[in-house]
Amino acid sequence: MATINREDYLISILRLTEGKGVAKTTELAEFMKVSPASVSEMVKVLSEEGYVSYEKYKGMSLTESGLNYARQIRKKHHVLERFLTDYLDVDHDTAHEEACKMEHAISDESAVKMCYMMGPRVDDDCQGCSNPCKAASEGIVKVTPMVKMTSGSRGRISHVVSEDSAVVKKLVMMGFVPGKD
């Protein structure tokens, strides 16, 4: 399953079911601004693919594989949103809209590499979101801030972090990018 429409349905079901377990067809239709008939049609497809469990008159929920898939898309969204706001200084609303489009195209591998670049900090805007970069940052064995390195010592840049996005942009433009010695 790799279509944008299906992934949007999974993300929407995830958002609606968090904290309450099930979502009704009418709720999902209103949330996505589509017809209830369109929801019923897609829920049937997602159910056949094993991503959604649906019980007539009770509602729908994500299966374990559907939940994992939706969470992976959401993680990509948060990584992209953070990259756009922190590194490119894009305003949050624009970053959110663009992350919604890009989350479907970016590979898991690229998202992990972005996490390495940005470091483990993340600002989540949803309940139940885990840090999308935590697992990636656990693979870093030893990180020494450049300010603590002695003159003449060598290392490889793992990520560029600053509270000031202008500093990050300047460092990146000067060639201080992850992976560089």
Domain ranges of the chain: 4-62, 69-173
Q: Is the pLDDT of residue 140 over 50?
A: no
Q: What is the pLDDT of residue 126?
A: 41
**pLDDT score for 86:** 82
pLDDT confidence of residue 142:
54
Fold of 4-62: Arc Repressor Mutant, subunit A (1.10.10)
pLDDT of amino acid 127 = 40
The stretch 148-158 carries a mean pLDDT of 79
Task: Please tell me whether the overall predicted TM-score, pTM, comes out greater than 0.75 for this model.
Answer: no
Task: Decide if 18 contacts 124 (C-beta within 8 A).
Answer: no
- How many Cα atoms occupy the beta-carbon half-sphere of 88 within 13 Å? 13
* pLDDT for 172: 76
Give the integer Cα–Cα distance in Å for 84 and 173.
16
Q: What is the CA radius of gyration of the chain?
A: 20
Q: Which pLDDT belongs to residue 62?
A: 95
First and final C-alpha spacing in the chain = 39
150 Cβ contact list (under 8 Å, min separation 6): none
Mean pLDDT of the chain: 81
Helices 108-118 and 64-82: crossing angle in degrees, nearest 10, is 40
